[in-house]
């Protein structure tokens, strides 16, 4: 009986035991990287952290069926696990934390959490929320028009799903049956504002009906259910059937960001009980029970996670800061900026290199 | 060489560019079968089909946001905002996203979109069909802002804008669509972005403007020359990047300058030109830099008497020049 159960786990979804181990490994590595970010912040090495502890199960599972380097990912600031699943390396994630010059996301220009890598079809993240949902829709429109066979997937929180851009994007995607997947990671809070004050309906997924697309709910601690939701949505998009709205019910295990104190608005009881909604031990137990994850494998994954974290942290920290002389590059395609339109040109004229104004001020 | 109205020039340019490059799409409200409320895209739907000439829902943020995404994935969108007045819901997409995509990704992502929008008053459009919005966007590094004043320039500048790898706002004065005609050469010429032009030579006073105000400045110059004054008119053409040298060399020659813009006076785009002249050509000035502008009320009022009160006119420009000549 036990053996039958073992061989069955995930097989109805076409997942092999190796797939399941890989998914668990991606979750474990992401968690380890994420925890290190907070330690680095508390140690005063990086000024800001925003991350996705509690979201990893849904993120890895939903993205697992995408085609890396072909499909498009339009992430948000909690998408660490999605990005690692889609091919961004932990070193690249860490470069963004340290904002080093070789950081592929922004060369140190953006706050940590604002990822993006052009050569891997990962669009640059900004801070205004839900703007990216329209970008994914436009990417999908181009994919459809150019017949590239690409699927675009985008992510946002349930708080962002109240923005007008969310409505405008789903409306347009529904009209044109675009190959796009909208993933709302519902962790119950928009920073401090609970779901009850964000939405008159309990499930964001029901909004899909208003845009002519399926709205699918999956439980973020049920990794295989999340994989099924992602896989079905990818198939639907790839075959021209149109967009899907997925709502993953997840938990936010950390404060909103390193600048937030969530005990001010979440009770100790709530935070304690939410620990039971951590997808990592739940998936680990599931794999153990199915006989897929034995002690040796677990130890190996733990060791690999530890190594990855050490390597990515040490390597990224050792990279140099961006050169201030590069800060005016990439405003426009043509560089340097036109002479008269360049503010530095004027200040140079009047102040020179430590010119008269600076001398007079005594500095 | 054909004689065209401004709208014909824009329409034919869109048609030719779409024939040249199949990555170009046009999208906006009523741009498809109807051909746009001003008919700027008339006939494009029939030639290129609904996938490339796309009627969108009434969602300005989507029109720009989806254009940004489409541009990232290989298209070259030319979205139309039906009236510049209605661009505000897309402000966040333009300023926070399109303008910053290149900078925030350290040059990895580009955003080649050309946002066309009719602007300006004088057509009984009242508060919400008459606005000048160029100052909002010219303020933002990462955006280019273009305003043509002739069918010839509209064609050359629109070509340059569509082929440019940065986001461009291309504002067309709606009063000029059918009232201004001019010769438009055949062939694939362009007018480079970032080049102003002396459109009328003179020696006494420089008048700087763009869009409809250039036409008014030329009319003013004629009025004044009948009185013996000599006026030089500079057409800014590209508000950003600004060709300061052409303006400054004219001002250095004449020593006097009137800046004209239809937008509200306070903080309008022409204020930047006035500041530049004060910074860069102070020693050459023989009088204060003056401005002829719209008044500081929240919009262009509807009734014809009120609208005339709002709009800068050739007479008002001529009055300002006369005062400056006498200074």
Domain harbouring B275, CATH code: 3.40.50.920
Q: Which of residues 133-152 of B touch A (CB under 8 A)?
A: 141-142, 144
Q: Is residue B191 part of a domain?
A: no
The answer to ipTM > 0.85 is yes
Quick one: A2-324 is in which CATH superfamily? Thiamin diphosphate (ThDP)-binding fold, Pyr/PP domains (3.40.50.970)
Q: Which of residues 195-234 of B touch A (CB under 8 A)?
A: none
Q: Is residue B192 part of a domain?
A: no
Query: Where along chain A do its domains lie?
Result: 2-324, 328-361
Query: What tokens appear for A8 in the block?
Result: 């069955």
Tokens 């993006």 correspond to what residue? A116
A182 close to A189: Cβ distance less than 8 angstroms: no
Q: Are B42 and B174 within one domain?
A: yes
> Count of CB atoms within 10 A of residue B269's CB?
24
Contacts of B65 in chain A (CB under 8 A): 131, 133-135, 137-138, 165, 168-169
Contacts of B52 in chain A (CB under 8 A): 145
Contacts of A331 in chain B (CB under 8 A): 102-103, 141-142
**B283 touches A: beta carbon within 8 Å:** no
Query: Shortest Cα distance from A92 to chain B (angstroms)?
Result: 14
Query: What tokens appear for B95 in the block?
Result: 């300023």
Last residue of a domain, one of B134, B161, B184: B184
Per-residue pLDDT of chain B (327 residues; tens, 9 = 90+): 899 999 999 999 999 999 999 999 999 999 999 999 999 999 999 999 999 999 999 999 999 999 999 999 999 999 999 999 999 999 999 999 999 999 999 999 999 999 999 999 999 999 999 999 999 999 999 999 999 999 999 999 999 999 999 999 999 999 999 999 999 999 999 999 999 999 999 999 999 999 999 999 999 999 999 999 999 999 999 999 999 999 999 999 999 999 999 999 999 999 999 999 999 999 999 999 999 999 999 999 999 999 999 999 999 999 999 999 999
Query: What tokens appear for B90 in the block?
Result: 């897309």
Q: Are B118 and B159 within one domain?
A: yes
**B70 touches A: beta carbon within 8 Å:** yes
Q: Are B176 and B246 within one domain?
A: no
> Residue B89 is part of a domain; what is its CATH number?
3.40.50.970
Report the residue of chain B nearest A124, measured CA to CA: B105
Q: Are B103 and B251 within one domain?
A: no
Q: Are B163 and B240 within one domain?
A: no
A31, A231, A236, A256: the catalytic one is A256
Q: Could you list the residue range(s) of the whole structural domain that residue B89 is in?
A: 2-184
Four-residue CA torsion sign, A350, A352, A354, A360: negative
Give the full edge-to-edge strand order of the sheet including A244-249.
A72-74, A152-157, A180-186, A244-249, A215-219
| Known active-site residue A176 | no
Query: Shortest Cα distance from B188 to chain A (angstroms)?
Result: 22
| Known active-site residue A76 | no
Cβ–Cβ gap B102/A142 under 8 Å:
no
Q: Is residue B190 part of a domain?
A: no
Among B59, B75, B106, select the one facing A106 at the smallest CB separation.
B106
Greatest CA separation for chain A: 87
| Known active-site residue A252 | yes
DSSP at B286 = S
B124, B129, B139, B152: the catalytic one is B129
Contacts of A343 in chain B (CB under 8 A): none
User: pLDDT per residue over B243-287, tens digit each?
Assistant: 999 999 999 999 999 999 999 999 999 999 999 999 999 999 999
**B102 touches A: beta carbon within 8 Å:** yes
């Amino acid at each position: 009986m036990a053996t039958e159960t073992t061989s069955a786990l995930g097989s109805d979804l076409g997942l092999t035991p190796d797939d399941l181990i890989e998914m668990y490994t991606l979750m474990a590595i992401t968690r380890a990287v994420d925890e290190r970010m907070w330690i680095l912040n508390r140690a005063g090495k990086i000024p800001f952290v925003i991350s996705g502890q509690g979201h990893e199960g849904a993120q890895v599972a939903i993205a697992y069926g995408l085609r890396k380097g072909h499909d498009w990912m339009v992430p948000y600031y909690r998408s660490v696990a999605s990005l690692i699943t889609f091919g961004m390396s932990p070193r690249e994630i860490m470069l963004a934390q340290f904002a080093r010059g070789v950081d592929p996301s922004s060369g140190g220009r953006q706050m940590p959490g604002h990822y993006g890598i052009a050569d891997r079809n990962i669009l640059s993240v900004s801070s205004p929320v839900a703007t990216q949902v329209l970008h994914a829709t436009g990417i999908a429109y181009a994919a459809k028009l150019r017949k590239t066979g690409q699927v675009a997937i985008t992510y946002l929180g349930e708080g962002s799903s109240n923005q007008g851009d969310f409505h405008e994007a789903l409306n347009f995607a529904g009209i044109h049956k675009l190959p796009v997947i909208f993933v709302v990671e519902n962790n119950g809070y928009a920073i401090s504002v609970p779901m009850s004050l964000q939405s008159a309906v309990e499930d964001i997924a029901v909004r899909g009906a208003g845009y002519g697309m399926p709205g699918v709910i999956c439980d973020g601690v049920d990794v295989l259910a999340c994989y099924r939701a992602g896989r079905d949505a990818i198939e639907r998009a790839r075959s021209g059937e149109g967009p899907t709205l997925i709502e993953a019910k997840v938990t936010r295990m950390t404060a909103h960001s390193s600048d937030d104190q969530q005990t001010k608005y979440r009770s100790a009881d709530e935070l304690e009980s939410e620990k039971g909604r951590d997808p990592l031990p739940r998936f680990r137990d599931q794999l153990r029970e199915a006989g897929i994850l034995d002690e040796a494998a677990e130890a190996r994954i733990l060791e690999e996670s530890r190594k990855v974290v050490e390597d990515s942290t040490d390597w990224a920290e050792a990279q140099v800061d961006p050169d201030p002389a590069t800060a005016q590059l990439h405003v426009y395609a043509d560089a340097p900026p036109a002479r008269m339109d360049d503010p530095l040109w004027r200040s140079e004229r009047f102040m020179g290199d430590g010119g008269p104004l600076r001398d007079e001020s005594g500095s | 060489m054909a004689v065209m109205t401004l709208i014909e020039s824009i329409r034919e340019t869109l048609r030719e560019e779409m024939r040249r490059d199949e990555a170009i799409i046009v999208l906006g409200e009523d741009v498809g079968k109807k051909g746009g409320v001003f008919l700027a895209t008339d006939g494009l739907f029939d030639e290129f089909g609904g996938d490339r000439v796309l009627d969108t829902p009434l969602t300005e943020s989507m029109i720009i946001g989806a254009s940004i995404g489409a541009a990232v994935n290989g298209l070259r969108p030319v979205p139309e905002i039906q009236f510049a007045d209605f661009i505000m819901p897309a402000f966040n997409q333009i300023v926070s996203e399109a303008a910053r995509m290149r900078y925030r990704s350290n040059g990895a992502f580009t955003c080649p979109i050309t946002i066309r929008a009719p602007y300006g008053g004088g057509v009984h459009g009242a508060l919400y069909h008459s606005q000048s919005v160029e100052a909002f966007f010219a303020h933002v590094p990462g955006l280019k802002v273009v305003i043509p004043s002739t069918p010839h320039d509209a064609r050359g500048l629109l070509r340059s804008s569509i082929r440019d790898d940065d986001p461009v706002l291309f504002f067309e004065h709606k009063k000029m669509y059918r009232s201004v005609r001019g010769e438009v050469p055949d062939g694939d010429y362009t007018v480079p972005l970032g080049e102003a032009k002396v459109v009328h030579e003179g020696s006494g006073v420089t008048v700087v403007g763009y869009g409809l105000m250039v036409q008014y400045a030329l009319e003013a110059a004629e009025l004044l020359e009948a009185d013996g004054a000599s006026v030089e008119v500079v057409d800014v053409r590209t508000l950003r990047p600004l060709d300061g040298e052409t303006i400054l060399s004219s001002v250095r020659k004449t020593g006097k300058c009137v800046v004209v813009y239809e937008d509200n006076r306070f903080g309008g785009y022409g204020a930047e030109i006035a500041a530049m002249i004060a910074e860069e050509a102070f020693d050459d000035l023989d009088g204060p830099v003056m401005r002829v502008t719209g008044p500081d009320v929240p919009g262009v009022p509807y009734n014809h008497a009120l609208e005339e009160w709002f709009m800068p006119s050739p007479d008002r420009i001529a009055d300002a020049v006369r005062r400056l000549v006498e200074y």
